[in-house]
Structure 1
Amino acid sequence: MTSDLFAQIGARIRAALAASAPAVPEDVLARIEVSPPREAAHGDMASNVAMVAAKAAGMPPRALADALAKALATVPEIAAAEVAGPGFLNIRLRPAALHAVIPAILAAGEAYGDSEIGTGQRVNVEYVSANPTGPMHIGHCRGAVVGDALANLLAKAGFDVTREYYINDAGAQVTALAWAAYWRYLQAIGSEIAAEDFAARAPSGLQYRGDYLIAVGAALAENHGRSLAAADGGIAPPEHWLETVRDFAIAAMMAGIREDLARLGVRPDVFTSERALVASGAVEAVIGRLAQAGLIYEGVLEPPKGKLPEDWEPREQTLFRATRFGDDVDRPLRKSDGSATYFANDIAYHADKIGRGFRTLIDVWGADHGGYVARLRAAITALAGDGATLDVLLCQIVHVLKGGQPVRMSKRAGSFVTLRDLIEEVGRDVVRFIMLTRKNDAQMEFDLDQAVAETRENPVFYVQYAHARARSVLRHAAEQGFPTTPEALASVALESLTDPAELALIRRLAGWPRLVEGAARAHEPHRIAFFLYDLASDFHILWNRGREAATLRFIQPERPAETSARLALVAAMAVVIRSGLAVMGVAPVEEMR
């Protein structure tokens, strides 16, 4: 029998349905849900079985619910099944069914909640993918945490996950980086050219002026001396130095990004270079595939919305028939100079992922790329039909507060909150946890003061405190001679766990496997943070009940049986917190200082 109590009762419900209506098809059975009731007074679980299966069973929902309730009343784990409203089933479990959750957790350890729903399915999760033009800032941080936690969550649900970083090392932004690094190089060799004069010579001005490039310029000077500069120490022709400086600067930026990601606990399995992809001929190959399929033509687009006709220069372009696959307009694949657009490069990149055997693609982007989703999905449908799916998680902006005031950031000026600064300020685990306390598409405020506060309003502290309290209880119990190993506690009698607060905590623990599967299917790792906060709240409530009523204290030397039962519950709660924190990439705290 499964250690997932909700799945166990779900199997009982399906068996009862099969006895009453054997012809219900699989697609209807798949829509049957077993979930916590909206109100605790309604029981331990609720099911929509009669509502979704009534038509296929050829019975009114209420009549089917009545028949199922009678059948379920004979199931050993079920104390009562009641019909509510138009045909919902409310189920009350016997205490023994709830108690059985505890030894199941202790036997499984942190693997409790592991699922097989993803078995055999390869998933590519691409996240961060920041342009290698500077250090990672807090905006990149949110996508990094969301993507990494989602990858952990999918792995726990049984999927074969590859974590990938796409290096945007082609195009105008890395050329601008090279010019900025060259300016720092000229400074390092003693050139006195002013920033404004240099910017006037650079194709796109001097976009990146942050101090982080000073070390890059110094390293270039150390490696190349004055050989990259003109004879007078000024700007040499770009063909003399551009490729060398660009490659050096990209490598330096990526080395820093890798270090920052490691500080955050993020270690991608694969780094894919856009420049290498273009050089391999993959872009031209994918354009050829689309052309062969009749999905490319030469045409003129309508003016963009909001632009006056005189602002628009109509010209013939190579266009992809994106509207055939649900996009608003057809999309250009080549620029006026004949080179491929960024979109064409991106199609080639995703075609490469599909070619590597991935059928589920998940991209984590900044919210400013929201308008890009429909065209990329159109391209993937054109290339793979129903053979591949793309889900894009858009991460909204993070506002950093300190002392109630916003902390400004500006990447080009260099006066931004870097990821490294943030981790040094509050710690890696705090950063990761807080980044998951809002759904990715909701804006959030990262309050630096609250992040280190020891209050219930700080979810990191609240959850970590619950785990530390549990570990403290187990240490004190061991000092008094009580068995506290998972093996010993898995076999203790649990009949004494009857208080409503104890049963509420067990119900919460029982919901962990269901939560993992639901969050994995929805690609919503923030649900883990919400669950852990609620679990910690249930535990703290039970802790406080023990302070108010001596009979509910965890350790009572004069009542060894009751003490052992409560120690088993405490240990199980700590296991589930560690299991959840592992998905979030956060280390549990053994004791609070």
Structure 2
Amino acid sequence: MTLYVRFAAHLDAALDALVAAGDLPAGLERRAVTVEPPRDVAHGDLATNAAMVLAKPAGTNPRALAEKIAAELEKLDAVSAVSVAGPGFINLTLTDATWRDELDSILEAEGDYGRSAIGAGATVNVEYVSANPTGPMHMGHCRGAVVGDALATLLEFVGHKVVREYYVNDAGGQVDVLARSAHLRYREALGETIEIPEGLYPGEYLKPVGEKLAAEYGDSYLGKAEEEWLALFRKEAVASMLVMIKADLALLGIHHDLFSSEAELQAAGKPEAAEAWLRERDFVYDGVLEAPKGETPEDWEPVELPLFRSSRFGDDQDRPIKKSNGQWTYFGADLAYHFQKAQSADQLIDIWGADHAGTVKRIVAAVQALTEGKTRFDVKLVQMVRLLRAGEPVKMSKRSGNFVTLADVVSEVGKDVVRFTMLTRKADAQMDFDFAKVVEASKDNPVFYVNYAHARIASLHRKAAEAGISCEIADLSLLDTEELALVKLAAQFPRVVEGAALAREPHRIAFYLYDLSASLHALWNVGNDRPERRFLLPDQPALTCARLFLARGVGQIIRNGLGLMGVEAVQEMH
């Protein structure tokens, strides 16, 4: 049990004591009561809003209730001072011994420090990447891939069972274009000179696909009508693309549990099943869409279509699930896909590019209808990444074939740099990825700054060993207030983890690690001007051991946080 959880339990016990004494009514809702660090460290170590939350339903004055709660909390051995501020906030200052005990907890728990059970084993399906299977991964896919993977790891760490899923969009027109492009490369592999017309994929990555098809089928499909080879080439080309995509994602350390095919979904009649289910509950009806706003196009005709009642859930209009030609709309197919996912998961998360923002409201409405409001569903939008090289834009265009692949970027700067950088901003905020800046050795580069903190700690332990200082145990009472401030920040890791998981925001881990690293660097740098504050003092082995234990605890937190991000902590900087 971590410190914040422990003091939440202490607060509950204090409230129970007030109920028993008749100073507080029984049965008050306490879910909004918090225990957290105060905004100003000068106010103490912990703060609670208990009196502010409970006073009104208890029919009492917040300040008066705060005084009674404070009197109960003062009885705790771990508390050195309690004060009531403003209209009823309660601030606690903990004993130094309490923080030393928390450092012991960090060192004892090691890789499990910060692990939580708030997920309670609930299954969460996280669908991410899901790029069209028409080519290798490029940097347009990278950010969503990293955000989704880090979020999945984070949710596992807090007690969820997680299914990592990739939805293969292999039923749309783009895969027919892929098949035709592969057929051209097939003809090329058999000796033809080809020209790639506008509208087909010109990328060199399709050459091996054409060669594979030529080796397997010979000239069987040369000069044949498209209907004789299109379905086969579509299947073979998509399969080849998925092999390539999986290999690209593996470069980032990303592996999905499940690849779901849109084509198989439709072949299995899942959209029809979803439509029937929704019709039974009056969520789908046959109707005519309103004419487009503004000047009506000459070719527009009112057509009766099956419509989903998304306006019931806050959308601005109902949405068609089929086209006038009887084919499923993208929304209709997507609706069926989410219906399928919800059968085996308690919660759903989709990681989408920001260009899909306009469809969020309708799919959220659909999932709410399909699950009768029982399944939590979050769509996390991820903004595109602008590639720069020393401040100059790097242009990429998938159709021209001149795009920057994910593999190119990982090869140049490394997996961990790519992953960390993708998590240094909130997912829906714009991001620049500058090849020069992400490898820059400066405080302004979070990747370097956090790694440097861990490398410093590793170096410290190596130097201690070289100096003959061996620390099996340490007297942590030698750590003073300035050093314990670092423990206080390290002890926030569990609540940062839980907060990031609940908000579905893995970037919070990166932000926290930067702050923790900055505090470590600041404490380290004090020793530059004041030699007695250095971590390593060969003539004072007892004090050195205490500081080594402090550094080890901080290093453990950094490793745990980087692990959640899918990044390996470095032992030395080159």
Would the TM-score normalized by the shorter structure come out above 0.5? yes
CA shift, 1:305, in A, is 4.2
**Aligned equivalents of 1:529, 1:38: Cα separation in 2:** 20
- Between 83-92 and 179-188, report the one with greater CA deviation: 179-188
CA shift, 1:307, in A, is 5.6
Write the letter of the residue equivalent to 2:115: D
**Aligned equivalents of 1:27, 1:463: Cα separation in 2:** 44
Alignment of 1:299 with 2:299, yes or no, is no
**SS of corresponding position for 2:425:** coil
Unaligned runs of 5+ in 1: 200-205, 231-235
Find 2:518's aligned residue among 524, 537, 553: 537
CA shift, 1:306, in A, is 5.4
- Between 187-196 and 390-399, report the one with greater CA deviation: 187-196
Alignment of 1:278 with 2:279, yes or no, is no
Alignment of 1:125 with 2:118, yes or no, is no
Alignment of 1:475 with 2:473, yes or no, is no
**Aligned equivalents of 1:311, 1:563: Cα separation in 2:** 82
Alignment of 1:590 with 2:574, yes or no, is no
Contact 2:390-2:437 at 8 Å conserved across structures: no
**Aligned equivalents of 2:492, 2:481: Cα separation in 1:** 19
Q: Give me the TM-score of the superposition, normalised by structure 2.
A: 0.96
Q: 1:451 is matched with which residue?
A: 438
CA shift, 1:15, in A, is 1.7
**Aligned equivalents of 2:415, 2:17: Cα separation in 1:** 53
Residue pairs, 1:349-498, within 5 angstroms: 349-356=337-344, 358-484=345-471, 488-489=472-473, 492-498=474-480
Find 1:319's aligned residue among 307, 315, 338: 307
Find 2:252's aligned residue among 231, 242, 264: 264
Q: 1:72 is matched with which residue?
A: 73
Q: 1:527 is matched with which residue?
A: 508
Find 1:18's aligned residue among 11, 16, 19: 16
Contact 1:24-1:53 at 8 Å conserved across structures: no
**SS of corresponding position for 1:387:** coil
**Aligned equivalents of 1:305, 1:12: Cα separation in 2:** 60
Contact 2:28-2:57 at 8 Å conserved across structures: no
- Residues 359, 463 of structure 1: CA spacing in aligned structure 2 closer, same or farther, 3 A cutoff? same
CA shift, 1:241, in A, is 1.0
Q: 2:322 is matched with which residue?
A: 334
**SS of corresponding position for 1:100:** helix
Contact 2:149-2:254 at 8 Å conserved across structures: yes
CA shift, 1:480, in A, is 3.0
Write the letter of the residue equivalent to 1:497: L
Unaligned runs of 5+ in 2: none
**Cα shift readout 1:74-102 (whole Å, capped 9, x = no counterpart):** 21111111111111112111101111111
CA shift, 1:309, in A, is 4.7
Q: Give me the TM-score of the superposition, normalised by structure 1.
A: 0.93
Find 2:209's aligned residue among 212, 216, 220: 216
CA shift, 1:228, in A, is 1.1
Alignment of 1:573 with 2:574, yes or no, is no
- Between 441-450 and 36-45, report the one with greater CA deviation: 36-45
- Between 66-75 and 453-462, report the one with greater CA deviation: 66-75
Q: 1:142 is matched with which residue?
A: 143
Aligned residues: 571
Residue pairs, 1:20-59, within 5 angstroms: 20-21=18-19, 28-59=29-60
- Residues 84, 305 of structure 1: CA spacing in aligned structure 2 closer, same or farther, 3 A cutoff? farther
Q: Percent identity?
A: 51
Q: 1:233 is matched with which residue?
A: none
**Aligned equivalents of 2:427, 2:555: Cα separation in 1:** 27
Contact 1:18-1:24 at 8 Å conserved across structures: no
Contact 2:48-2:91 at 8 Å conserved across structures: yes
- Residues 145, 34 of structure 1: CA spacing in aligned structure 2 closer, same or farther, 3 A cutoff? same
**Aligned equivalents of 1:88, 1:139: Cα separation in 2:** 47
**Aligned equivalents of 2:52, 2:366: Cα separation in 1:** 39
**Aligned equivalents of 1:71, 1:25: Cα separation in 2:** 17
**SS of corresponding position for 1:28:** coil
**Aligned equivalents of 1:345, 1:145: Cα separation in 2:** 26
**SS of corresponding position for 2:404:** coil
**Aligned equivalents of 1:179, 1:557: Cα separation in 2:** 72
Write the letter of the residue equivalent to 1:293: R
**Cα shift readout 1:94-142 (whole Å, capped 9, x = no counterpart):** 1011111111011100110000101121111110011101111112110
Write the letter of the residue equivalent to 1:218: E
CA shift, 1:24, in A, is 5.8
- Residues 305, 522 of structure 1: CA spacing in aligned structure 2 closer, same or farther, 3 A cutoff? farther
**SS of corresponding position for 2:373:** helix
**Aligned equivalents of 1:588, 1:478: Cα separation in 2:** 20
**SS of corresponding position for 2:90:** strand
Write the letter of the residue equivalent to 2:162: V
**Cα shift readout 1:199-220 (whole Å, capped 9, x = no counterpart):** 5xxxxxx232222212222222
Contact 1:28-1:52 at 8 Å conserved across structures: no
- Residues 581, 193 of structure 1: CA spacing in aligned structure 2 closer, same or farther, 3 A cutoff? closer
**Aligned equivalents of 1:311, 1:74: Cα separation in 2:** 79
**Aligned equivalents of 2:357, 2:100: Cα separation in 1:** 47
**Cα shift readout 1:303-327 (whole Å, capped 9, x = no counterpart):** 3445635363321211112222322
Write the letter of the residue equivalent to 2:274: V
Q: 1:207 is matched with which residue?
A: 200
- Between 259-268 and 63-72, report the one with greater CA deviation: 63-72
CA shift, 1:193, in A, is 4.8
**Cα shift readout 1:401-445 (whole Å, capped 9, x = no counterpart):** 102111111111111121111101110000000000011111110
Contact 1:184-1:214 at 8 Å conserved across structures: yes
**Aligned equivalents of 2:139, 2:463: Cα separation in 1:** 41
- Between 508-517 and 29-38, report the one with greater CA deviation: 29-38
**SS of corresponding position for 1:29:** coil
- Residues 306, 395 of structure 1: CA spacing in aligned structure 2 closer, same or farther, 3 A cutoff? farther
**SS of corresponding position for 1:408:** coil
Q: 1:81 is matched with which residue?
A: 82
**SS of corresponding position for 1:165:** strand
Q: 1:562 is matched with which residue?
A: 543
**SS of corresponding position for 2:125:** strand
Contact 2:47-2:91 at 8 Å conserved across structures: yes
**Aligned equivalents of 2:291, 2:247: Cα separation in 1:** 44
Contact 1:106-1:571 at 8 Å conserved across structures: yes
- Between 112-121 and 186-195, report the one with greater CA deviation: 186-195
